[in-house]
Structure 1
């Protein structure tokens, strides 16, 4: 299962049925779970943990030192969950001690060609990051988010669950849950209602989320004023609750 032309450090912990292609390099302090397939010409450096049934395509660089000038060789980590597809030429960097020291990637995500995930980023489950998307340091992306091709995300931004960015979007502020964003800088364009339907949200819940969006964006309220209206509604519907929680977690201000 390991091509004889691959270089695997004796300190790496590789499950019995992992496939590693020719000319790939697996460093020490790397753990790779069952069923994962590493293509040719992939570099994985540690400390990095990769879960089960992932597929990593050629020319990707996983677990490399970060591009932060404060980084001084500390043993920071990258943790990747299960069932991810990481396409050609993706780059995932380890964390920094200025944050929690770990870059975290969840499960069931699709990273298309040439996606960059920077130090200390946290990416949830079931996300899609399309070609040439760049996620800067300390960014947090919620479950089921979709980032269109060439989306650029500024450091420390929060992107809420079930949100969606159009191609070429430049994210400079936080995107609340469910919101569709587009442009440079990103501006809101309604809620991702089609995505919510596909994921089993009820018609009533989508209606309440749409109403909450109008409260947030159509009534001329400040964020604090909108939260005064939405917090009581969050007690009645889990969908609105998730929107409120994303607003309460916002640290850079939300897109407008």
Structure 2
């Protein structure tokens, strides 16, 4: 194919759409599926049982679909599924899943994964997620849609980060983050709401006002954090507030970052 550089190695069995572009010195493994308009710039490794969605671009020296960095992994069959129109920059690593974590690592659509990011086994990443340079997402973590994690940040195993939340640079997140939360400081403190992100997405002022009132109630109300979320969910008419309370009341393997 004229759009595959002669120095690239495409192993037998790989499924590659005719519109795919593969640059020099790339390696595509035998179980890989590359959808329409995928582009591998150069020196890219895509291996394992990996599916790359339409329009995704992968930049030099990224390693996509290698085995997990997990001593419990014994070579079992597992997958990496990447959605559409992602931008995966230089030196990014994304691993396949493990049997203990469900066997699949999933990446949504329209994400930006800047240089040096790592997505570990069995993580689930939503749509329009932005990971700034050298962010590390540990195994089994869940990042919902529209999450942003600042440079050199880290998300602990099994942590959930709710939709629209933002995590500052150099921040370690070891507890679940409510949707639309703003997390800062080296050990990850819930400082408030991602108001800038809400405004940029055109959320109505009335909804933002309801979210701010909800945050205050979660921070200062009577009872435990869980108790406050239950009361708030029963009383609210706001879909945005309900999203937060449903998130808090849902199943989790971690405790929550609570407002200071």
Q: Above 0.5 in TM-score?
A: yes
C-alpha distance in 2 between matches for 1:245 and 1:6: 48
Confirm or deny: 8 A CA contact 1:108 1:126 kept in the other structure: yes
The equivalent of 2:130 in structure 1 is: 128
Are the structure 2 counterparts of residues 152 and 196 from structure 1 closer, same or farther at C-alpha, using a change threshold of 3 Å? Answer: same
Q: Indicate the residue corresponding to 1:247 in structure 2.
A: 248
2:191 aligned residue (186, 189, 204): 189
Counterpart Cα distance in 1 of 2:81 and 2:235 = 36
Q: Which residue of 1 aligns with 2:112?
A: 110
The match for 1:169 among 165, 168, 171 is 171
Q: Which residue of 1 aligns with 2:76?
A: 74
The whole-number CA distance in structure 2 between the counterparts of 1:58 and 1:220 is: 53
Aligned partners of 2:226 and 2:249 also within 8 Å: no
What whole-Å deviation, never above 9, does each CA across 1:83-130 have from its counterpart, x for those lacking one?
100000000000000011000000000000000000000000011000
**CA distance in 2: counterparts of 1:233 and 1:123, whole angstroms:** 31
Calculate the aligned-residue CA RMSD, in Å.
Answer: 1.1
TM-score (norm 1): 0.97
TM-score by length of 2: 0.96
Any idea what SS the aligned residue of 1:98 has? helix
Q: 2:182 aligns with which of 175, 180, 183?
A: 180
The corresponding residue for 1:201 is 203
CA contact (8 A) 1:171 1:185 kept: yes
Alignment: residue pair count: 255
The answer on whether the counterparts of 1:146 and 1:164 sit within 8 Å (CA) in structure 2 is: yes
Segments of structure 2 that go 5 or more residues without pairing to the other structure are none
Task: Report if aligned partners of 1:233, 1:240 keep a CA contact under 8 Å in 2.
Answer: no
Superposition pairs of residues 50-69 of structure 1, within 5 angstroms: 50-69=52-71
Alignment correspondent of 1:219 = 221
Q: CA deviation at 1:33?
A: 0.6
Question: Where do 5+ consecutive residues of structure 1 fail to align?
Answer: none
- C-alpha distance in structure 1 between counterparts of 2:226 and 2:186, whole Å: 25
Counterpart position of 2:238:
237
Shift of 1:220: 5.7
